[in-house]
Chain A
Amino acid sequence: MNKSLFIIEFQTKDQQYIYDCGSSKIINVNNKLKHIIKNFFNSNSEYNYMKEVYDLTEKEYKSMRNYINLLINKYNMFYSNNSNNAYINSNLSKNEIQEIMYESPISQLILIVTNNCNLRCEYCVYSDKYPKDIGYSKLNMDFNTAKLAIDSFFELNKERKKRGLNKDIHISFYGGEPLLNFDLIKKSIGYAKRINPETKFYITTNGTIMNDEIADFLANNNIFITFSLDGYKENHDRNRVFVNNKKSFDMVVSNIKKLQSVKKSLNVEMPITFNCCLDSYTDLDKVVSFFETYYYDFYPFFTTFSQIKPFNTTYYEWCDEQYNNGTLSLVKDAFQDSRKIVKNKFLNKDISTKEYRQVANAIFFNELSFLIRNRSGNNSVLKNSCLPLSKIAVSPEGNLFLCEKMCEKFSVGDINNGINWDEICDVTNKIISFFSSEKCTTCEAKSMCDACFMFLEEDGTMSKEFCERRVKSLKKELEDHLTLYEEEADIFSILNENKNNILSISEG
């Protein structure tokens, strides 16, 4: 047995905890328990020593010792790094990877219908603030490419259905700004519906292009629309600008209202989603209040909040520069401070409206993921990453990628020649060997890590920035979670109040 400790000690205002890195179990401790845990295998945890230092009775000592003994010996906690070694040094074969892929419970095709965009958002991965990624171009996908991609996607789904796939299959239109290639979207949806009427369609748009024809089409075809809208005007407009630097907020809000009123007139109840990007200068309370104000203009909707990708970018430096030279009136650490306000309002019905809480809901949705996290220490071979080809992103030229967010890293085939199994095996085995590497299996964050193909470097290592950030933020995250539970916040029932979130949707 490796006798080195594999734990994170953390504390909230009044409590001390130990997080077991091998399993992600958490226990409440005091100084005595902590002492026993740390000295379990040496004489400093014997009664005589403990009595002198902590003045405790033999009965108390015994009970504590037995408890820790149970956790160490029965639950393999604190000292044991139960890394899943099964796949170490063993590359998966093509057949094994194919089977993993066919067994994916999610099936999504993402057509990147254009690399063109009418906006020049400051944090866009196509912008020059992401020097490693590809830039904008006028490149549009043609219908033949889309058709071939849809055909092979449906073929793949036949295999998945055989293996018990029970979720709807999704085709998403992504860009650039996908509605710049609206004709292709229209044709593709018509084509896919003729083959499989059950297919669900998604479009992620910046909301600047919404003529009557588009609004009617989106409403009539029950398409899930995600609008990129960063909340209140100043927050949205400081980043989301047109090519000519004109701000986009007013146009986007008016277009959303337009679509929702067309849907209302047609009795279409499909909710829309907002993808709201945040950085450290965003005032979260103002964001939530914004959606609260527009609640009935936008209804039905739900909001997802995502932090602007901090990797391989100069965006945050640019923000700091804006702050320092006063170009934009930003408040430093606005996010951290406002999050506390939102949390308080979210948990306290007396100081917030139902609408406010329903919007704030999404911020706390990850609490649920934390509550139901796997605490057994047995992670699957791909950990929390998407299974390869559970999503297939197709570039405008017809190249296949594992994720729409990967900006053409790791091409895994093209629509004319199909999936390149050598490439898939290579990239899958790269991530598996990283997950089985010493760096990953001895990492404190390994049981609560969301590393995936997106952060995988071409040499098979995980982005250094990603790993460092993950480890660094873990302790703070644990403190935040446990603080919330100590307050006896019944997160689940508050989350359940919102009828437009994943829980109620799946219940319905």
Chain B
Amino acid sequence: MKYFKLYPTVKFLKSKNNSCIYDFSSGQMIKLNSELSEILYKCEKNEPIDDDIKVNEFLSTLEEMEIGCYKNTISYEEGFENTMSNIKCKMVPSNNFINKVFIELGSECNFNCIFCNTDNKLYRKTGCKRWSPYESKLELEDWSKILQDLSYLKAKQLCFIGGNPLLKFEYIKEIIELSLKYGFKYFLIYTNGSSINDEMIKFFKKYDVALNIQIISFNKETLRKISDKAINLEEIENNIRLLNNENINTIYELLITKYNENEIEEIKLILKDKYKIDSLKIEYIHNHPGNSHSSDKYVNDIYDRCSTFPKVTSDRFNYLQMWNYCLKGQCTIKENGDILICPMLRSKIFGNIKECSIQEIINTDEYQQYENISKNSIDKCKDCSYRFNCSDCRAIEISATNNPYGLEYCNIGE
């Protein structure tokens, strides 16, 4: 009798829709079809191996990949990673915490992009977006208490988002300077590439502030089509040069819409050749019955999850069993004091910072419910074996499905 066992350094997950092997030592995720999955499942259950060429070919491949080996007897192997992190999280209590704080500075923007609706409907993931106007109510002295409370919860990162938050640079400056005394270290501003001046650059350098800049086009004609408020291309290009020269930590994000869908390769080339920018985040205006701005050409990419899987890590594997990858440890404070969990998830306001403390707000059952939307609880994900190496944007999914546990933008299993 011959048997086959996977090494404890890997984990085989067989779910209703598909199966895969997580190899924690190489970082690979090995997808298996149902036939191979069945073979491996039997092996893991200690059933003897059939004398079949195909079976042995497959198992020999796994052996060559050094993720398992033949055995002469039945054996039991305890994996190094466990699939019970959710139980662990229940049995071993831990405090609430905040990692990342979004501060939304109003809803104004100097652009008027055609695809950027100003209501609360959502067609894009975290980034540039105008919202219905609202009145700012938080003063600097409010921020002092808020930042102190956040620091008790171990928060270290502030992300400014808008509208275009750089229109309120003075305010950003004051909050960042104030936050230093509460131990904040990481700062990020979401902006559109315009309205950057030398004073800002000096400030970004001094406090190591990073920027997330959205690129929509390098074509004047396209820009004119996109925004009726003039977008000054020279200014944006100058700013990119300036940020480059001054070594400001900048993430460039390309937003794909139906207006720039034929320029994508060209934009990538310009960024690469002209500005030496290799790494580019791709975002989309998502297709949705209520929205006509998404790109048909790239619609498959919106649904494609497999090509964006990162390397398998045991940290992510464990984290995704317990919590939502993005929402756990995150909060958003609007300039009027409203608390959201994610700046893009507008359907749920958890309270107002003028009325209760951030500690009380994040300890409510509702807030915890969102933080705990793990991959095991999302309807479509729980039957998918890739779930512990995959993240999804709750905001865009909830917007599309009207369900906190819904999932629209995924084509796995189809």
Contact = CB atoms under 8 A, between A and B. Distances in A.
Contacts of A371: 82, 84, 87
Contact of B95 (A26, A67, A166, A369): A166
Interface in A480-494: 482, 485-486, 492
Given A28-B5, A167-B93, A502-B91, A14 B74 contact: yes
B97 interface: yes
B88 interface: yes
Nearest to B75: A28
A63 B64 CA distance: 8
B245 interface: no
A8 to B, nearest CB: 14
A105 B77 contact: no
A363 to B, nearest CB: 17
B66 interface: yes
B8 A503 contact: no
Interface residues of B, number: 37
B69 interface: yes
B265 interface: no
Interface string B123-158: 000000000000000000000000001001110000
Interface in B83-133: 84-85, 87-88, 90-97
Contacts of B84: 368, 371-372, 492
B66 A15 contact: no
A166 B66 contact: no
B149 A67 contact: no
Interface string A223-254: 00000000000000000000000000000000
B95 A70 contact: no
B61 interface: no
B66 A67 contact: yes
Contacts of B78: 25-27, 482, 485
Given A70-B66, A372-B82, A164 B25 contact: no
A166 B361 CA distance: 11
Interface string A470-508: 000000000000100110000010000000001100110
A128 interface: no
Contact of A15 (B25, B69, B76): B76
Interface in A52-71: 63-64, 66-67, 70-71
B63 A15 contact: no
A30 B75 CA distance: 10
Given A67-B66, A103-B95, A105-B95, A164 B80 contact: no
A3 interface: no
B7 interface: yes
- The secondary-structure label for the interface of chain B is loop
Contacts of B28: none
B93 A105 contact: yes
Q: Which of A67, A369, A486 is most buried by chain B, counting CB atoms within 10 A of its CB?
A: A67
Nearest to A33: B69
Contacts of A161: 359
A215 B290 CA distance: 63
Contacts of B92: 372
A165 interface: yes
B66 A106 contact: no
Given A15-B76, A507-B90, A74 B25 contact: yes
Contacts of B249: none
A375 interface: yes
A163 interface: yes
B359 A369 contact: no
A166 B87 contact: no
A492 B84 CA distance: 9
Contacts of B88: 372
Nearest to B64: A63
A63 B63 contact: yes
A45 to B, nearest CB: 17
Interface of A: 14-15, 25-28, 30, 63-64, 66-67, 70-71, 74-75, 103, 105-106, 161-167, 368-369, 371-372, 375, 482, 485-486, 492, 502-503, 506-507
Which 7 residue pairs across A and B have the least CB separation, nearest first? A164-B95, A164-B96, A372-B88, A105-B93, A506-B90, A162-B152, A486-B76
